[in-house]
Amino acid sequence: MSERLCIIPVRAGSKGVPNKNIREFRGRPLLSHSVQHAISANIFTDIVVSSDSDTYLGIAYDAGATRCVKRPDELATDTAGSMDVVLHALSECESASGLKYSSIVLLQATSPLRESCHIREAVAKLETQGLDSVLSVTRAKNSPYFNLLEYVADKDTYALSKSLSEGVIRRQDAPEVFQLNGSIYVWSREAFISQKTSFCTKTDVYVMPSLYSVDIDTEDDWSFAELAFDLLIDRKTKTPENS
């Protein structure tokens, strides 16, 4: 049996949306949604919330987290790296449980619209394909081959970020590109410990629909996430099996 660890990091405070991780989102604290997603996935040995706040950790316990880790001050700053936070949580959980987890999953609390099936499928992709890491993405609306520009200093002009010799007339003809949605990161433990990066030697992507990929960083994001949440609920109630 695989021993899998889910880590949900939530630092207290926020500049874009004050205290967003514990602000109520459609009936419960934002971080509670991610804890519930992990529980519903039904594949984890442990679900740990890492935070610098006792209040946040209390909310995490109430939501159903199996472990809570108090983050040291040096990992609670704006400049603290996410890899160090994951390493700390992994070390604390393995010391407390006596286990050696085979895979590690990071869920961002700012992605309340993912579903448990997305987590299961991303983890299955890692484990069945022998990958080092799997990153959740959504198809990018804009393309560096078609409509993303960069300033070219030596020519004092703007040009496409990436170009092809034959050019691209239609966006549909450009190579497919994706953007990280920040929702799900999956690693094999061995790759994470040895490489300590999201983009490991053998990395693949797990593609999620755009509505499930909303990442909350601003008040506008929050408002859009609420609208998307309601739209997804409405769609589910109108499916044939619910009619």
pTM for this entry: 0.92
Q: Where are the domains of the chain?
A: 4-138+179-242, 141-176
Q: Tell me the CATH class for 4-138+179-242.
A: alpha beta
The pLDDT tens digits for 97-149 are: 999 999 999 999 999 999 999 999 999 999 999 999 999 999 999 999 988 99
Q: What is the DSSP string of 47-90?
A: EEEEES-HHHHHHHHHHT-SEEEEPPGGGSSTT--HHHHHHHHH
Which tens digits make up the pLDDT trace of 31-80? 999 999 999 999 999 999 999 999 999 999 999 999 999 998 888 877 77
List strand residue ranges (DSSP E) for 111-199, in order: 133-139, 149-152, 157-160, 178-188
Residue 1's pLDDT is 60
pLDDT for the residue numbered 80: 77
Buried b (16+ CB within 10 A) or exposed e, 103-141: bbbbbbbbbbbbeeebbebbbeebbeeebbbbbbbbeee
Segment 140-191, tens digit of pLDDT: 999 999 889 999 999 999 999 998 877 777 777 788 999 999 999 999 999 9
d(CA 205, CA 211): 17
